[in-house]
Structure 1
Amino acid sequence: MAANIILLGAKRFISERAWQLGARPWIIQHPERAEDWVNRQSERVLLMDYEDPALIPMLKAAHAVTPFTSAITIAEEALLPCARINQALGLPGTPLELVEKTRDKPSMRRVLDSGGFSPVQWAAVKVPADAAAFAGRVGYPFILKPVDGVGSIGVRLVHGAQELEGVLNGKSAWIAEEYLDGPEYSVECFSFGGRHVILGINVETKNPDPTGSAFLEVAHQVPAPMSPERDREVRAFIRGFLDVLGLKDGPTHTELKYTAKGPRIVETHTRLGGDRLWDLVRLTTGYDLVDMTLQWAMGTLKPLEADPLPQGGAAIQYFTPPPGRLKRLHGMQALRRIPGVVDISLMVDVGATIRPAMQSEDRAGFVIAQGPTAVQALEICQEVRQRLVFDTV
């Protein structure tokens, strides 16, 4: 019998995979984010705001007729609604209280502080005086983030009080954190009854273009090039962090900085990572995090016994061409034939307006490659990026 699951924020790739695995998904998507293909190919689609008060009563009524196994999402904005659905229907999934901690940055910092783990100086701020007091203790520069922000949107590195004019107006909540220097990594993990299996460690490359956001990620490498000693330290650190957080089951995507004082948590998410990191993990370990997440919701996922050993390396490079109207695009078909290239995808077409790369949606496309090492895979990606010509006016 097909597993009856709820999919919030479903895109084509995950709804297709759900059907292939034998699930019978209920698709719930925000009307503004709906994809025609998903709607046409799905038997049951609800185009609703995830926070609509009518949603849970409707799902309760459906659950009474055809029981669901779980609700699942890979969309950040749907994590809290998904946890509320599971709690309301008595279904397994990441507990609502835990998701709330990860979605609210001050709450997560309090959890870490109470556990004496990953010490980072921080403060909740709403007006310039709050930030000035924090800078008086910590100094400049410091990081300022929306407390519930996603995708690096709104994150800024503050070098002086003048940069806060018009930002802290008392109407929205922000968190100030000490600036953590050092390379940034992200870790893809799946937990089974409190046992945390790490499937991939990625090193991130931020946007070097001064016209865009310096916090936007433009490249990833798996496995992250690092010494065996640092690799062991990062794995132990992530396991300790998830224990302090209280996470027992399911996927997590955790970002950290490796500072002069050792690893420090940046943030975590109770979902698999974005930016096609699941492809990089699959290319290097054979394990598919999309499949695993769906199978977890279906109740068919078999626990992994140990961290898989990566074979070779994989990388993704995003395209951030000069802003303007795209007049011509040259080279993509020929570049697909370069040895090691796995996929080249464009998110723009001729005639489209390319914006400065401030957030993920502003990137023009990507290339994925694999090679004997992650460094070599990234070199292939960079060759594609250099040879792909975006002619903007």
Structure 2
Amino acid sequence: MSAERYLLVVGTGPKEYREGIFRSLSGSRIWLLTDRDPTWQREYVSGHTVIPRLNSAQVSTNISSLLEAVRNLAESIAIHGVLTFEEMFLSATCRIADELGLPSLGHGVAENCRDKERTRRLLTDAGVRQPRFAFARTAEEAAAIGEQFGHPVVLKPRGLAGSIGVVMARSAADTEEAFRIAASAARDGAQRHGGGALVEQFLAGPEIAVDCAVTDGRLEPMYVVRKRLGPEPFFEEAGHSIDADDPLLSDADLIEMLRSAHTALGIRTGVTHTELRLTPDGPVIIEVNGRLAGDFIPHLAKLAMGLDGASIAARLACGEPAAVERSARGSAAHRIVYADRDGTFNGIGLPSPESHPNLVASGTLLAGGTEVTLPPRGYMARLGYAIVAAPTADECEASLAAAVADMPVDLTPSR
């Protein structure tokens, strides 16, 4: 066996969102578990193992094959830590870590986060503020719960991510259709959490997220994310912003709520991504995810605060000290340009850096000729993006709005 120690990374995700993370980890020796030969990842990894059909269905129904592949790998290389940045691989990654005796949330704790109904029950038992909820197995049950809670309500699958299948219902009739959407998304996703839908009280207010580093049960917030959501009744995330001087980062009540939630779920080590609503009566927990934030959020944290969440996650996965260090004080934000109708995507204009001095990056997220459909027929109809950074949050938002206004979309509507 080689004396070199490797960080085992399970899955990658799209290049646009994940290349920056792999670049952050390039100082480590990375061994990648993937379902196909690496392309852009090759620059950042020392080796890889291809596991065909490594996806949500494979992980949830055939974990034994994955564990066998890892055992074989561990006979030839020294695995120092195991990490994933993908929600669908979280439970499997923790199973691998448990198998190898390495740090992680632990498989049971990962399931506390992945199964949203289980999350709700554990937080309720601990007295952590959250929406009223109930699990519905039929559309009729969902409608009855909606009448009990009072509309609007939110319906969601128990175990997906990216707001897929999450929909608001404003009436009993809407609730039955929303149940169909959420339950259908669950059936198409991780089968272990399939069937039925979670029905939750809708709470008004801005939505935020807080990413935290947890070491031996000690929680430290890394950054606060302000969210921009797409049009109702769906909850697709259309943009995020991070400000180094966000007052919520030092809000004692919010931090205590986060600590209580993490304790209730059994989280003692790792990086987490907690989503909350800021209601008129105070913050409430929407969900707790046992991994680093997705989208461009880790990149925004680097731009605004000089904070490298991916490196912190890697160090914790390897059982190493992971101080939350910030080296900048600014603001950064990104916006996703979505399709506004079904159709064929032809292209999108990109803003000129010369005309937008705070622009950090922009790009296209779909190939020309791609058919796009809006929820509930399809999700993530993302066409392009823009990322900006500026000294203040106000300047950042103004720069971002100007950049997005300079991104015309060419889409041929469906007939």
TM-score, shorter chain, exceeding 0.5? yes
Distance 1:354 1:67, change over 3 A: same
Runs of 4+ in 1 over 6 A off after TM superposition: 168-171, 357-360
- Counterpart of 2:35? 30
8 Å CA contact retained: 1:17, 1:291: no
8 Å CA contact retained: 1:221, 1:375: no
Kindly state the Cα deviation for residue 286 of structure 1 after the two structures are TM-superposed: 1.0
Deviation string, structure 1 residues 331-386 (Cα, Å, up to 9, x no partner): 43x24652111111211244444443767631112111111222321221111111
SS at match of 1:150: coil
- Counterpart of 1:94? 105
1:187 aligns with 2:210: yes
Distance 1:66 1:326 in 2: 45
**Greater Cα shift, 73-82 or 54-63:** 54-63
Distance 1:351 1:216 in 2: 23
TM-score using structure 1 length: 0.88
Distance 1:191 1:337, change over 3 A: farther
Distance 1:357 1:230 in 2: 37
8 Å CA contact retained: 1:216, 1:357: no
1:239 aligns with 2:252: no
SS at match of 2:388: strand
- Counterpart of 2:191? none
Distance 2:203 2:379 in 1: 22
Distance 1:327 1:57, change over 3 A: closer
- Counterpart of 1:120? 131
Deviation string, structure 1 residues 10-69 (Cα, Å, up to 9, x no partner): 2552684376213141x21235xx653336865322233252322212212332343311
- Counterpart of 1:387? 406
1:374 aligns with 2:393: yes
8 Å CA contact retained: 1:2, 1:22: no
SS at match of 1:144: strand
1:276 aligns with 2:296: yes
8 Å CA contact retained: 2:358, 2:388: yes
Distance 2:152 2:118 in 1: 23
1:10 counterpart letter in structure 2? T
Distance 1:345 1:144 in 2: 33
Distance 1:66 1:230 in 2: 42
1:133 aligns with 2:125: no
| TM alignment of 1:1-393, pairs within 5 A | 2-11=4-13, 13=19, 16-17=22-23, 20-25=26-31, 27-31=32-36, 35-38=38-41, 43-48=47-52, 49=54, 50-51=58-59, 52=62, 53-163=64-174, 164-165=176-177, 167=180, 172-208=195-231, 214-223=234-243, 231-304=251-324, 308=326, 311-323=329-341, 324-327=343-346, 329-332=348-351, 334-335=352-353, 338-356=356-374, 361-393=380-412
Distance 1:228 1:89, change over 3 A: closer
8 Å CA contact retained: 2:236, 2:380: no
Kindly state the Cα deviation for residue 8 of structure 1 after the two structures are TM-superposed: 0.6
1:20 counterpart letter in structure 2? S
**Structure 2 gap segments, 5+ residues each:** 188-193
8 Å CA contact retained: 2:6, 2:28: no
SS at match of 2:396: helix
Distance 1:329 1:54, change over 3 A: closer
Deviation string, structure 1 residues 183-210 (Cα, Å, up to 9, x no partner): 11100111122221111111111113x6
Distance 1:357 1:336 in 2: 36
1:125 counterpart letter in structure 2? A
Distance 1:121 1:148 in 2: 18
SS at match of 2:360: strand
SS at match of 1:129: helix
Distance 1:384 1:301 in 2: 39
1:36 counterpart letter in structure 2? T
**Structure 1 gap segments, 5+ residues each:** none
Distance 1:260 1:18, change over 3 A: closer
8 Å CA contact retained: 1:18, 1:294: no
2:94 counterpart letter in structure 1? A
1:180 counterpart letter in structure 2? L
Distance 1:102 1:355 in 2: 30
Identity of paired residues, percent? 24
2:223 counterpart letter in structure 1? G
Kindly state the Cα deviation for residue 390 of structure 1 after the two structures are TM-superposed: 1.8
**Greater Cα shift, 71-80 or 321-330:** 321-330
SS at match of 1:20: coil
1:138 counterpart letter in structure 2? F
